[in-house]
Amino acid sequence: MEERIEVTTPDQRTVSSSPEFNLSATRVADIMTTNLITLSPHHTFGEAVQLMANSPFRHFLVVHADRTLAGVFSDRDVLRALGRTPNWQAKAVSGVMTRYVVTVNPKTPLSLAATEMLKRRINCLPVIGDDQKVCGIITSTDLLKIYQKMQASLEFTQPGTAI
């Protein structure tokens, strides 16, 4: 397989706007992750499972050569496939991934992104720019990070003030 798996180290995959983390971040672009680990549709299921088992991430975007989105490969896809697929190691990522993916735009409000995640029971939304190319990913962890900062600042401020 000539296409290689692009890997960034975990500490590179930080929230894009930190450390000046804006507590009143309201749009996806404010907190999305832009350093991505991506897979190609031709990687095998076995390769993808190994990558996932050895990385802290649960979601990988599957991206075509022109950087448009092919699908999302998540740990849930793995579990579902293992339950029903004999000879799973040899399958291609494209046969297992989620194809019909809900995506957001960098300008999407965070409240809508959170609502979509909860409604669809997913933890990750690919962020697609106006040029239809993948520009980032927003996960439930990104949202928890900013929520934690908000709660922490609440504990240190008086009732009745605005952050």
Partner 1 sequence: MKEDTRETAPTWSMENQRDSTGKTHCVADVMTREVVSLSPQHNFADAVNLIANRHFRHFVVVDNGRIVGIVSDRDVLRGLARTDNWQKKEVGEFMTVDPITVKPNMSLATAIAKMLAKRINCLPVIADDGTVCGILTSTDLLKSYQQVLESVDLQPR
What is the CA angle 44-49-55, rounded to 5? Answer: 130
Q: Answer for the pair 162, 139: CB distance below 8 angstroms, yes or no.
A: no
Residue 92 beta carbon to partner 1: minimum distance, rounded to whole angstroms: 18
**Residue 98, C-beta contacts closer than 8 angstroms, at least 6 positions apart:** 71, 72, 73, 74, 77
Assigned token pair, 55: 């990385």
- How many C-beta neighbours within 10 Å does residue 51 have? 17
- Minimum Å gap between C-beta 84 and partner 1 is 9
In the complex, least distance from residue 65 CB atom to partner 1, rounded to whole angstroms: 27
Among the listed ranges 37-45, 62-70, 91-99, 153-161, the one in contact with partner 1 (CB under 8 A) is 153-161
| CA 89/CA 21 separation, integer angstroms | 41
As measured in angstroms, the least distance from the Cβ of 147 to partner 1 is 4
Give the C-alpha separation, 140 to 146, whole Å: 10
Q: Is residue 109 part of the contact set for partner 1 (CB under 8 A)?
A: yes
Query: Interface with partner 1 includes 18 (CB under 8 A)?
Result: no
104/96 Cα distance (integer angstroms):
22
Residue from 34, 76, 92, 94 touching partner 1 (CB under 8 A): that is: 76
Residues that bind partner 1 (CB under 8 A): 22-24, 26-27, 49-50, 52-53, 56, 58, 75-76, 78-80, 82-83, 104-105, 107-112, 114-118, 121, 123, 140-141, 143-148, 150-152, 154-155, 157, 159-163
